[in-house]
Protein backbone atom coordinates (compact mmCIF):
# COMPACT_ATOMS: atom_id res chain seq x y z
CA UNK A 1 0.00 0.00 0.00
CA UNK A 2 1.31 3.41 -0.91
CA UNK A 3 2.01 5.92 1.87
CA UNK A 4 1.22 9.54 1.00
CA UNK A 5 4.03 12.00 0.38
CA UNK A 6 2.55 14.28 3.02
CA UNK A 7 2.69 11.57 5.67
CA UNK A 8 6.27 10.78 4.71
CA UNK A 9 7.18 14.46 5.01
CA UNK A 10 5.52 14.77 8.41
CA UNK A 11 7.35 11.67 9.67
CA UNK A 12 10.64 13.58 9.65
CA UNK A 13 9.24 15.85 12.37
CA UNK A 14 6.97 13.46 14.25
CA UNK A 15 6.38 9.72 13.95
CA UNK A 16 3.23 8.96 11.98
CA UNK A 17 0.99 6.08 13.07
CA UNK A 18 0.07 4.02 10.01
CA UNK A 19 -1.89 1.36 11.89
CA UNK A 20 -2.28 -0.40 15.22
CA UNK A 21 -3.32 -3.98 15.73
CA UNK A 22 -3.67 -6.91 18.09
CA UNK A 23 -3.09 -10.62 17.67
CA UNK A 24 -2.95 -13.88 19.57
CA UNK A 25 0.71 -13.18 20.32
CA UNK A 26 0.69 -9.42 20.90
CA UNK A 27 -1.85 -7.37 22.85
CA UNK A 28 -0.76 -4.30 20.89
CA UNK A 29 1.30 -3.76 17.73
CA UNK A 30 2.32 -0.46 16.21
CA UNK A 31 3.06 0.24 12.56
CA UNK A 32 4.61 3.70 12.29
CA UNK A 33 6.50 5.84 9.83
CA UNK A 34 9.57 7.39 11.43
CA UNK A 35 11.80 9.69 9.37
CA UNK A 36 10.55 8.08 6.19
CA UNK A 37 11.05 4.51 7.38
CA UNK A 38 8.49 1.92 8.43
CA UNK A 39 8.86 0.70 12.00
CA UNK A 40 7.08 -2.29 13.52
CA UNK A 41 7.08 -2.41 17.31
CA UNK A 42 5.41 -3.38 20.56
CA UNK A 43 5.58 -1.30 23.75
CA UNK A 44 8.75 -3.24 24.67
CA UNK A 45 10.57 -4.04 21.44
CA UNK A 46 11.27 -2.99 17.85
CA UNK A 47 10.73 -5.82 15.37
CA UNK A 48 11.54 -4.05 12.09
CA UNK A 49 12.88 -0.64 11.10
CA UNK A 50 13.60 -0.77 7.38
CA UNK A 51 17.36 -0.47 6.73
CA UNK A 52 18.02 0.79 10.28
CA UNK A 53 17.22 -2.55 11.94
CA UNK A 54 20.63 -3.04 13.48
CA UNK A 55 20.77 -6.84 14.03
CA UNK A 56 20.05 -7.54 10.36
CA UNK A 57 22.34 -4.72 9.22
CA UNK A 58 25.33 -5.83 11.32
CA UNK A 59 24.86 -9.51 10.56
CA UNK A 60 24.68 -8.99 6.82
CA UNK A 61 27.62 -6.58 6.77
CA UNK A 62 29.79 -9.21 8.46
CA UNK A 63 29.24 -11.82 5.74
CA UNK A 64 28.38 -9.89 2.58
CA UNK A 65 31.79 -10.47 0.98
CA UNK A 66 31.31 -14.23 1.38
CA UNK A 67 27.86 -14.40 -0.18
CA UNK A 68 27.31 -15.30 -3.85
CA UNK A 69 25.86 -12.51 -5.98
CA UNK A 70 22.71 -14.52 -6.74
CA UNK A 71 21.03 -16.74 -4.20
CA UNK A 72 18.16 -17.28 -1.82
CA UNK A 73 17.41 -16.49 1.78
CA UNK A 74 15.08 -17.68 4.53
CA UNK A 75 13.92 -15.13 7.09
CA UNK A 76 12.46 -16.75 10.22
CA UNK A 77 10.51 -14.08 12.05
CA UNK A 78 10.00 -11.90 8.99
CA UNK A 79 8.41 -8.86 10.63
CA UNK A 80 8.20 -6.23 7.90
CA UNK A 81 11.25 -7.55 6.08
CA UNK A 82 14.09 -5.31 7.18
CA UNK A 83 16.57 -7.75 5.65
CA UNK A 84 14.96 -7.25 2.24
CA UNK A 85 15.16 -3.46 2.59
CA UNK A 86 18.83 -3.66 3.61
CA UNK A 87 19.66 -5.88 0.65
CA UNK A 88 17.91 -3.50 -1.75
CA UNK A 89 19.32 -0.25 -0.38
CA UNK A 90 22.84 -1.21 0.62
CA UNK A 91 23.79 -4.28 -1.41
CA UNK A 92 22.29 -3.89 -4.88
CA UNK A 93 24.95 -6.25 -6.20
CA UNK A 94 23.12 -9.10 -4.44
CA UNK A 95 19.95 -10.55 -5.95
CA UNK A 96 18.25 -12.89 -3.47
CA UNK A 97 14.86 -14.58 -3.63
CA UNK A 98 13.52 -14.36 -0.09
CA UNK A 99 11.09 -16.53 1.84
CA UNK A 100 9.76 -14.89 4.99
CA UNK A 101 8.09 -16.93 7.73
CA UNK A 102 5.86 -15.04 10.15
CA UNK A 103 3.40 -16.70 12.54
CA UNK A 104 1.60 -13.54 13.64
CA UNK A 105 -1.40 -13.04 11.38
CA UNK A 106 -1.46 -9.27 11.85
CA UNK A 107 2.24 -8.84 11.11
CA UNK A 108 2.08 -11.19 8.11
CA UNK A 109 -0.80 -9.13 6.72
CA UNK A 110 1.13 -5.89 7.07
CA UNK A 111 4.24 -7.55 5.59
CA UNK A 112 2.34 -8.46 2.44
CA UNK A 113 0.70 -5.03 2.31
CA UNK A 114 3.96 -3.09 2.67
CA UNK A 115 6.50 -5.20 0.78
CA UNK A 116 9.60 -3.22 -0.26
CA UNK A 117 8.96 -1.59 -3.61
CA UNK A 118 11.19 -2.39 -6.58
CA UNK A 119 12.91 -5.30 -4.81
CA UNK A 120 14.97 -6.96 -7.59
CA UNK A 121 13.95 -10.56 -6.82
CA UNK A 122 10.97 -12.38 -5.31
CA UNK A 123 9.65 -12.04 -1.75
CA UNK A 124 7.24 -14.68 -0.46
CA UNK A 125 5.72 -14.21 3.00
CA UNK A 126 4.31 -17.38 4.58
CA UNK A 127 2.10 -17.29 7.66
CA UNK A 128 3.41 -20.21 9.70
CA UNK A 129 5.17 -21.11 12.90
CA UNK A 130 8.93 -21.16 12.33
CA UNK A 131 9.35 -24.46 14.19
CA UNK A 132 6.82 -26.19 11.95
CA UNK A 133 8.24 -24.63 8.81
CA UNK A 134 11.81 -25.63 9.64
CA UNK A 135 10.76 -29.17 10.54
CA UNK A 136 9.05 -29.69 7.17
CA UNK A 137 11.33 -27.65 4.89
CA UNK A 138 13.46 -29.54 2.37
CA UNK A 139 14.90 -26.56 0.48
CA UNK A 140 18.36 -25.18 1.22
CA UNK A 141 19.41 -21.55 1.39
CA UNK A 142 22.51 -19.39 1.06
CA UNK A 143 21.32 -17.26 3.99
CA UNK A 144 19.08 -17.94 7.00
CA UNK A 145 18.18 -15.12 9.39
CA UNK A 146 16.63 -16.12 12.74
CA UNK A 147 14.81 -13.26 14.49
CA UNK A 148 12.18 -15.04 16.56
CA UNK A 149 11.18 -12.66 19.32
CA UNK A 150 8.05 -12.08 21.29
CA UNK A 151 8.93 -8.70 22.78
CA UNK A 152 12.51 -9.40 24.00
CA UNK A 153 12.13 -13.13 24.57
CA UNK A 154 13.14 -16.03 22.33
CA UNK A 155 11.22 -19.22 23.13
CA UNK A 156 13.20 -22.09 24.62
CA UNK A 157 12.59 -24.45 21.70
CA UNK A 158 14.13 -21.93 19.29
CA UNK A 159 17.29 -21.90 21.41
CA UNK A 160 17.52 -25.70 21.59
CA UNK A 161 20.14 -27.84 19.89
CA UNK A 162 17.54 -29.61 17.73
CA UNK A 163 16.37 -26.31 16.20
CA UNK A 164 19.91 -25.10 15.55
CA UNK A 165 20.81 -28.41 13.90
CA UNK A 166 17.75 -28.24 11.66
CA UNK A 167 18.58 -24.66 10.67
CA UNK A 168 22.09 -25.77 9.78
CA UNK A 169 20.66 -28.52 7.57
CA UNK A 170 18.76 -25.83 5.66
CA UNK A 171 22.01 -24.13 4.65
CA UNK A 172 23.68 -24.74 1.33
CA UNK A 173 27.42 -25.55 1.47
CA UNK A 174 29.19 -22.42 2.76
CA UNK A 175 25.79 -20.95 3.62
CA UNK A 176 25.43 -18.58 6.57
CA UNK A 177 23.04 -18.37 9.49
CA UNK A 178 22.49 -15.11 11.38
CA UNK A 179 20.83 -15.51 14.78
CA UNK A 180 19.62 -12.54 16.80
CA UNK A 181 19.12 -12.87 20.57
CA UNK A 182 19.01 -10.72 23.71
CA UNK A 183 20.90 -12.75 26.34
CA UNK A 184 19.89 -10.60 29.30
CA UNK A 185 16.22 -11.25 28.53
CA UNK A 186 16.70 -15.00 28.48
CA UNK A 187 18.16 -15.51 31.98
CA UNK A 188 20.56 -18.38 32.71
CA UNK A 189 19.97 -19.97 29.30
CA UNK A 190 22.34 -17.45 27.68
CA UNK A 191 25.49 -19.41 28.49
CA UNK A 192 23.81 -22.63 27.41
CA UNK A 193 22.88 -21.09 24.06
CA UNK A 194 26.46 -19.97 23.51
CA UNK A 195 27.67 -23.52 24.08
CA UNK A 196 25.01 -25.05 21.83
CA UNK A 197 25.64 -22.59 19.00
CA UNK A 198 29.41 -23.08 19.19
CA UNK A 199 28.98 -26.84 19.03
CA UNK A 200 26.56 -26.71 16.12
CA UNK A 201 28.64 -24.16 14.20
CA UNK A 202 32.38 -24.67 14.82
CA UNK A 203 32.91 -21.84 12.32
CA UNK A 204 31.14 -18.98 14.03
CA UNK A 205 31.47 -15.44 15.26
CA UNK A 206 29.53 -13.22 17.66
CA UNK A 207 28.77 -9.53 17.29
CA UNK A 208 27.86 -7.71 20.50
CA UNK A 209 25.39 -4.87 20.06
CA UNK A 210 23.95 -4.37 23.54
CA UNK A 211 21.49 -5.64 24.52
CA UNK A 212 21.51 -7.87 21.43
CA UNK A 213 24.02 -10.46 20.35
CA UNK A 214 24.18 -11.45 16.70
CA UNK A 215 25.59 -14.96 16.23
CA UNK A 216 26.80 -15.98 12.79
CA UNK A 217 27.43 -19.59 11.84
CA UNK A 218 28.76 -21.01 8.59
CA UNK A 219 28.00 -24.41 7.09
CA UNK A 220 30.91 -26.51 5.88
CA UNK A 221 31.50 -26.80 2.16
Q: What is the pLDDT of residue 183?
A: 86
**Do residues 101 and 26 share a domain?**
no
CATH code (residue 209):
3.40.50.150
- Give me the number of domains the chain comprises: 2
Tell me how far apart the alpha carbons of residues 49 and 118 are, in angstroms, rounded to a whole number.
Answer: 18
35 exposure class (CB count in 10 Å sphere: 0-12, 13-18, 19+): middle
Average pLDDT, the chain: 94
- On the question of pLDDT at 148 being above 80, the answer is yes
Q: What is the pLDDT of residues 171-209, one digit of tens each?
A: 999 999 999 999 875 566 667 899 999 999 999 999 999
Tell me how far apart the alpha carbons of residues 79 and 6 are, in angstroms, rounded to a whole number.
Answer: 25
**Do residues 21 and 59 share a domain?**
no
Domain of 198 in residue numbering reads as 54-218
Q: What is the pLDDT of residue 190?
A: 67
Q: What is the pLDDT of residue 220?
A: 85
**Do residues 143 and 183 share a domain?**
yes
**Do residues 44 and 130 share a domain?**
no
**Do residues 104 and 19 share a domain?**
no
Tell me how far apart the alpha carbons of residues 150 and 217 are, in angstroms, rounded to a whole number.
Answer: 23
**Do residues 24 and 111 share a domain?**
no
- In DSSP terms, 57 is beta-bridged to none
**Do residues 134 and 70 share a domain?**
yes
Q: What is the pLDDT of residues 37-55, one digit of tens each?
A: 999 999 999 999 999 999 9
Q: What is the pLDDT of residue 189?
A: 65
Amino acid sequence: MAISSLKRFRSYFQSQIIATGTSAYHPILYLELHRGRLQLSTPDAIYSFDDLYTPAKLGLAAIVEQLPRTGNGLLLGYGLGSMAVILKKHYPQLCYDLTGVERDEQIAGWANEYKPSNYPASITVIEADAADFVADCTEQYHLVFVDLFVDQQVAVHFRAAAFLVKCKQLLKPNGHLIYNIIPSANDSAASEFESLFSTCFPQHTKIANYPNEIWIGMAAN
